């Protein structure tokens, strides 16, 4: 293997970025070449993603990557948040800006779906956690609309970007597994679910797997980005969490998952890498998901509200102040505030929609009989304690339900930069936490490309050893006992 230069496009719910990652047998370095905000926009009653702005950010990033390498790239890979999609008409033209998973259109659809496919059967077939915005609910909501009648193809967000770059359409498997239309045992479409819900699977282009070729940049894309063709687009774990789990610098792999992981960004995804799904009724009731990972793995995890709680507090305070609040200052003040004074259930669906988060946190505390936070520092402390508590609970449940032990917890994603959160997570779990990399998704994306292009070889263990060797990681030992966390958990969840 001779190494190579790869562009990893990682679109998160809060920002998009293009990373230039150089990978070789003894080399891994990452350079952020372009970052752009992801700002959803309400048009009429509906909350949309601003997909043209995101696509422009991708093109700008590729141009910048090419400027650095002299026009050469060994691959481009795209990952993004899960679940959402665009509809294309018979000419391959996008029918409207994709709808945001936080939009209210899915209200009531879960009940409609449950009436034809009971939740027990849906879980046994797909292993997916119930989230009110899973793709099947969105498709149910879209049905009957004018765009739906004109739709001839459904493309998930990373597949849509890939289609614009290459003209080739496919459905990448790890992200497809978040639609609730994939059977995690066969790692293929679930005809049973599609038939029961009358969803035409022919609307989705053929499945591709991480590492599969996904076309070459179109001539007009090369012209616009200044890149020298041919440039291959390579399918990666296009669900950002799938790529982030590849980017966990663990020493185990799918056969020896003694590590837990928490991918913390807008969401916290906390769980284990397993060789196969857990589809028990107990697992369903605990709201655990079996999303598909790279190299035949399963991501057995729970979605936790994540730093969205903090992001929305900051947005509210920014509107009040007329300027962005100082995050570092707020985190330091929260760190000094009284521990575990109040906590909320970070899995509570009432936090999903955008809006005044400090007020909703106050309301949740009041409802559940916890003291109400007095001011911003205590509100942030409540968020941090609540997330750490939810991390503890998710990892303990994942371990119990799968029968796998955990020796160490890896925190990756933007939240790995949040020192108090990592420390509190170590304390709550009673386990050592290794924090970083913050850009695990981009790294996992690039590693899968690099292997497909022949720049490196090996399985997840070998790919991860490059991460362990090449990145600064922070270690947090659990100090203090887990007693206060156990008591808080009992009080919150009974
Ligand atoms: P997403 O991919 O969902 O957009 P990221 O993984 O980029 O999310 O994480 C973004 C979050 O990371 C921010 O909302 C913020 O809470 C946290 N974060 C990023 N940088 C820092 C920092 N320097 N200190 C504390 N928190 C940070
Ligand atoms: C994180 C994420 C998560 C999904 C959510 C919609 O970015 O992909 O894994 O559940 O967004």
pLDDT of residue 255 exceeding 60 = no
Q: What is the mean pLDDT of the segment spanning 332-336? A: 98
The 8-class DSSP code of residue 438 comes to T
Q: Which of 50, 103, 159, 240 is catalytic?
A: 240
Question: How many angstroms does the Cα of residue 243 sit away from the middle of ligand 2?
Answer: 12
Is 240 an annotated catalytic residue? yes
Average pLDDT of the residues in 18-27: 95
- Which residues are CB-contacts of 322 (< 8 A; sequence separation ≥ 6)? none
Considering every ligand atom shown, identify the ligand nearest to the alpha carbon of residue 270 and give its number.
2
Going 334 to 335 to 336 to 341, the CA torsion angle's sign is: positive
Locate the ligand 2 atom nearest the alpha carbon of residue 241 and give its number.
Answer: 9
CA distance 443 to 463: 10
Any idea which of 230-239, 243-252, 358-367, 431-440 has the lowest mean pLDDT?
Answer: 243-252
Confidence of residue 427 (pLDDT cuts 50, 70, 90): very high
Torsion of CA 329, 332, 337, 343, to 10 degrees: 90
pLDDT tier, 471 (very low <50, low <70, confident <90, very high otherwise): confident
pLDDT at 468: 86
Ligand nearest to the CA of 11: 1
Q: Confirm or reject: Cβ of 83 under 6 Å from ligand 2.
A: yes
Measured at the CA of 376, the angle between CA 374 and CA 378, to 5 degrees, comes to 55
Residue 338's Cβ-count burial label (10 Å; 0-12, 13-18, 19+) is: exposed
When pLDDT is averaged across residues 324-348 and rounded to a whole number, the result is: 97
Mutation choice for ligand 2 from 17, 79, 82, CB with most ligand atoms inside 8 A:
82
Would you call 118 helix, strand, or coil by DSSP?
A: coil
Atom 1 of ligand 2, nearest CA residue: 81
**Proportion of the chain in helix, strand, coil states, percent, rounded to 5:** 45, 20, 35
Residue of 157, 178, 264 to test ligand 2 pocket, by largest number of atoms within 8 Å of CB = 178
Nearest to 237 by CA among 81, 21, 19: 81
Query: Which ligand has the nearest atom to the CA of 312?
Result: 1
Ligand 1 atom with minimal separation from the 439 CA: 6
**Tens digit of each residue's pLDDT (9 = 90 or more) over 153-204:** 999 999 999 999 999 999 999 999 999 999 999 999 999 999 999 999 999 9
Q: Atom 2, ligand 2: which residue's CA is nearest? A: 81
Question: Percentage of the chain with pLDDT > 90?
Answer: 95
- Tell which one of 49, 80, 83 to mutate to probe ligand 2, the residue whose CB is within 8 A of the most ligand atoms: 83
How far is the C-alpha of 19 from the C-alpha of 96, rounded, in Å?
Answer: 28
> What would the pLDDT profile of 109-129 be if each residue is shown by its tens digit?
999 999 999 999 999 999 999
The model's confidence at residue 10, banded by pLDDT at 50, 70 and 90, is very high
Q: What is the rounded average pLDDT of the residues 5-26? A: 97
67 Cα–ligand 2 center, Å: 31
Nearest-CA residue for ligand 1 atom 1 is 12
The DSSP line for 300-351 is: EEEEE-TTHHHHHHHHHHHHHHTS---HHHHHHHHHHSPTTS----TT-GGG
Mean pLDDT of the chain: 96
Residue nearest to atom 9 of ligand 2 (CA): 241
Residue 256 has pLDDT above 80, yes or no: no
CA 308 to ligand 1 centroid distance, Å: 9
Cα–Cα distances (Å) from 445 to 6, 122, 290, 329, 387, in that order, read: 9, 30, 20, 33, 26
State the residue for tokens 């879209």. Answer: 142
No. of helices (H) and no. of strands (E), the chain: 19, 21
Contact residues for 334 (Cβ-Cβ < 8 A; gap 6+): 377, 378, 380, 381, 383, 384, 420
Whole-number pLDDT of residue 144:
83
| Three-state SS at 375 | coil
Q: For tokens 């009940």, what's the residue? A: 111
> Would you say residue 254 has pLDDT above 60?
no
Q: Is the pLDDT of residue 433 over 90?
A: yes
Instruction: Give the atom of ligand 2 at the shortest distance from the alpha carbon of 291.
Output: 9
Which pLDDT score, from 0 to 100, does residue 2 have?
Answer: 73
Nearest CA to ligand 1 atom 12: 414
Residue 68 has pLDDT above 80, yes or no: yes
Mean pLDDT of 450-458: 96
Query: Quick check: 253 pLDDT over 60?
Result: no
Assess whether the C-beta atom of 303 lies below 6 angstroms from ligand 2.
yes
pLDDT at 252 over 80: no
Which ligand does the CA of 441 lie closest to? 1
The pLDDT value given to residue 155: 98
For residues 294-301, average pLDDT: 98
pLDDT at 261: 98
CA of 218 from ligand 1 middle (Å) equals 33
Separation of first and last alpha carbons in the chain: 55
12 lines ligand 2 (CB under 6 A): yes
Please report the pLDDT score of residue 449 as a whole number: 98
The predicted pLDDT at position 257 comes to 56
Structure tokens at 104: 């209210």
When pLDDT is averaged across residues 262-269 and rounded to a whole number, the result is 98
Instruction: Return the C-alpha torsion angle 298, 133, 109, 107, nearest 10.
Output: 150
* pLDDT value, residue 22: 97
Percent of the chain with pLDDT over 70: 99
- Ligand 1 atom closest to Cα of 13? 4
Residue identified by tokens 């990557």 is: 65
Which ligand 1 atom sits closest to the C-alpha of 438? 6
Which helix (H) or strand (E) is 485 found in, with range?
A: helix 483-493
Residue 38: C-alpha distances to residues 44, 52, 159, 161, 309 (Å): 19, 11, 18, 15, 17
pLDDT band at 251 (very low <50, low <70, confident <90, very high): confident
Please name every residue paired with 7 in a beta bridge, in sequence order, or none if there are none. 20, 76
Q: What would the pLDDT profile of 377-424 be if each residue is shown by its tens digit?
A: 999 999 999 999 999 999 999 999 999 999 999 999 999 999 999 999
pLDDT surpasses 70 at 469: yes
Kindly give the pairing relationship between strand 188-189 and strand 27-37: unpaired
Name the band, by pLDDT with cuts 50, 70 and 90, for residue 354: very high
Tokens of 133: 């915005």
What's the gap in Å between 211 CA and the centre of ligand 2? 21
The string of DSSP codes covering 154-176 is EEEHHHHHHHHHHS---EEHHHH
Supply the pLDDT for residue 21: 98
């Amino acid at each position: 293997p001779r190494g190579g230069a790869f562009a990893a496009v990682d679109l998160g719910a809060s920002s998009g970025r293009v990373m230039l990652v150089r990978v070789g047998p003894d080399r891994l370095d990452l350079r952020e070449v372009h970052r752009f905000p992801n700002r959803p926009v309400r048009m009429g009653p509906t909350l949309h993603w601003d997909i043209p702005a995101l696509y422009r950010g991708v093109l700008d990033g590729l141009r910048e990557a090419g400027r650095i390498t002299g026009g050469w790239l060994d691959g481009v890979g795209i990952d993004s948040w899960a679940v959402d999609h665009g509809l294309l008409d018979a000419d391959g033209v996008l029918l409207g800006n994709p709808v945001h998973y936080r939009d209210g259109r899915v209200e009531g659809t879960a009940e409609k779906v449950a009436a034809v496919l009971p939740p027990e059967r849906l879980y046994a077939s797909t292993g997916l956690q119930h989230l009110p915005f899973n793709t099947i609910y969105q498709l149910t909501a879209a049905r009957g609309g004018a765009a739906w009648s004109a739709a001839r193809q459904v493309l998930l967000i990373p597949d849509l970007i890939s289609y614009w770059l290459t003209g080739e359409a496919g459905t990448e498997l790890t992200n497809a597994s978040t639609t609730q239309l994939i059977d995690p045992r066969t790692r293929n479409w679930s005809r049973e679910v599609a038939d029961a819900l009358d969803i035409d699977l022919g609307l989705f282009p053929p499945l591709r797997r991480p590492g599969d070729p996904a076309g070459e940049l179109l001539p007009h894309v090369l012209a616009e980005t200044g890149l020298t063709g041919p440039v291959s687009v390579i399918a990666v774990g296009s669900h950002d969490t799938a790529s982030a789990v590849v980017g966990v610098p663990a020493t185990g792999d799918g056969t020896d998952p003694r590590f837990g992981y928490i991918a913390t960004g807008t969401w916290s995804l906390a769980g284990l890498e397993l060789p196969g799904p857990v589809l028990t009724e107990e697992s369903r009731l605990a709201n655990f998901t079996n999303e598909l990972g790279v190299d035949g793995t399963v991501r057995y995890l729970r979605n936790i509200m994540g730093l969205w709680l903090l992001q929305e507090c900051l947005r509210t305070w920014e509107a009040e102040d007329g300027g962005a609040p100082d995050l570092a200052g707020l985190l330091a003040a929260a760190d000094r505030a009284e521990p575990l004074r109040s906590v909320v259930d970070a899995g509570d669906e009432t936090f999903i929609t955008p809006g005044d988060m400090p007020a909703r946190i106050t309301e949740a505390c009041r409802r559940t009989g916890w003291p109400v936070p007095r001011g911003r520092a205590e509100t942030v402390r409540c968020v941090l304690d609540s997330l750490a508590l939810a991390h503890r609970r998710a990892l303990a449940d994942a371990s119990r339900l799968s029968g796998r032990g955990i020796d160490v917890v890896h925190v990756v994603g933007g939240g790995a930069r949040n020192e108090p959160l990592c420390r509190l997570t170590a304390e709550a779990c009673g386990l050592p936490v290794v924090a970083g990399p913050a850009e695990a998704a981009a790294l996992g994306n690039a590693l899968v490309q690099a292997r497909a292009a022949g720049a490196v070889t090996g399985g997840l263990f070998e790919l991860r050893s490059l991460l362990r060797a090449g990145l600064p990681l922070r270690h947090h030992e659990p100090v203090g006992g887990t007693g206060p966390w156990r008591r808080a958990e009992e009080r919150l969840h009974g």
